Amino acid sequence: MPPRQRFAVFGHPINHSLSPRIHADFAGQFGIDLSYEAIDAAPEGFKDAVHAFFDEGLGANVTLPHKAAAFAMADIATATATRAGTANVLTRLGDGRLEAHNTDGDGMVRDITERHAQDLRGHTALLLGAGGAARGVAWHLLDAGVGTLTIVNRNPVAADDLADAIGDPARAHTRYWEDLHDIGSFDLIVNATSAGTLGGGLDLPVSIVGSRALCYDLSYGKSAAGFVGWARGAGARYAFDGLGMLIETAADAFERWHGKRPDTDPVYRELRAIYG
């Protein structure tokens, strides 16, 4: 029997990761026998742990707080990872080189436009945050056709850096966090801050929620509960967490590694039943 193909997800902490379960479900759809483990690596040990894994491993997902380090250590990077400056997928290529890729933006847009059947074209969009997660989705929002993208970050320098990197001043621009209360309302609000994950709350005015607003948190479960609850209370028409995004990003990684496109709907239904 050939050895089982090894895959993994790296994070810190990683004990609650859904990725092993999602990849096992996908593999089951095709009768693929694989090993997919969750590896907890502290930042100082991340690079060595990845190299050790890739002595045998074929592919790895990367989550907080390692996405920038994953991009930096790779031998080559896809265009999507390069513009984000972060990676959530590492793949050992046939020639032994390590490739960085980022599936976050595609996964988010597919979750919104296909699973939730929402058309983003022409939307006025507000992106909260300008860190790795925000960089992973900003360009995809523009590609999906939002009319404008207003980037607001607690630290305005990071927001300006992101807007400069996008280089489309007619559509993508920044405002100060302090201006949120008189900035007007938006059709789409994406929470790309790590406030929920870190256990902090966001103090957001309800006035930013437009009458047909879709509010979306890139995280899921407890981390997203504060923002999603706030959005519902503020009258958003739709308020979604990023569980579907997580599953879509996993499907993209799976297809990259196995050349097969898994059906994400049964996995979404199963996990949604658990995560409410």
Residue numbers annotated as active site: 67
Q: From the CB of 133, what's the least distance to ligand ATR, in Å?
A: 3
37/160 with CB nearer ligand ATR = 160
Contacts of 84 (CB under 8 A, 6+ apart): 71, 102, 104, 105, 132, 135, 136, 139
Q: From the CB of 120, what's the least distance to ligand ATR, in Å?
A: 21
In the list 158, 165, 183, 225, the residue contacting ligand ATR (rule: CB under 6 A) is 158
Q: From the CB of 70, what's the least distance to ligand ATR, in Å?
A: 11
Q: From the CB of 129, what's the least distance to ligand ATR, in Å?
A: 4
Q: Does 165 participate in binding ligand ATR (rule CB under 6 A)?
A: no
Do 135 and 84 contact (CB within 8 A), yes or no? yes
Q: Which of 87, 132, 140 is nearest to 112 (CA)?
A: 140
In the list 132, 210, 242, 262, the residue contacting ligand ATR (rule: CB under 6 A) is 132
Span interacting with ligand ATR, options 103-111, 140-148, 162-170, 197-205, rule CB under 6 A: 197-205
Q: From the CB of 204, what's the least distance to ligand ATR, in Å?
A: 9
| Number of residues counted as binding ligand ATR (CB under 6 A) | 18
Q: Does 50 participate in binding ligand ATR (rule CB under 6 A)?
A: no
Span interacting with ligand ATR, options 31-39, 94-102, 113-121, 148-156, rule CB under 6 A: 148-156
Q: Does 85 participate in binding ligand ATR (rule CB under 6 A)?
A: no
27/109 with CB nearer ligand ATR = 109
> Closest-CB residue for ligand ATR?
131
184/199 with CB nearer ligand ATR = 199
* Contact characters 206-235, ligand ATR, x per CB under 6 A: ------------------------------
Q: Does 61 participate in binding ligand ATR (rule CB under 6 A)?
A: no
Q: Does 195 participate in binding ligand ATR (rule CB under 6 A)?
A: yes
Q: From the CB of 157, what's the least distance to ligand ATR, in Å?
A: 8
The 3-state secondary structure of the chain, one letter per residue: CCCCEEEEEEECCCCCCCHHHHHHHHHHHHCCCEEEEEEECCHHHHHHHHHHHCCCCCEEEECCCCHHHHHHHCCEECHHHHHHCCCCEEEECCCCCEEEECCHHHHHHHHHHHHCCCCCCCCEEEEECCCHHHHHHHHHHHHCCCCEEEEEECCHHHHHHHHHHHCCCCCEEEEEHHHHHHCCCEEEEEECCCHHHHCCCCCCCHHHEEEEEEEEECCCCHHHHHHHHHHHHCCCCEEECCHHHHHHHHHHHHHHHHCCCCCCHHHHHHHHHHHC
Q: In a 10 Å sphere around its CB, with 0-12 CB exposed, 13-18 middle and 19+ buried, how is residue 11 labelled? A: buried
In the list 17, 148, 153, 264, the residue contacting ligand ATR (rule: CB under 6 A) is 153
Sites of contact with ligand ATR (CB under 6 A) = 64, 67, 129-134, 153-155, 158, 193-195, 198, 200, 202
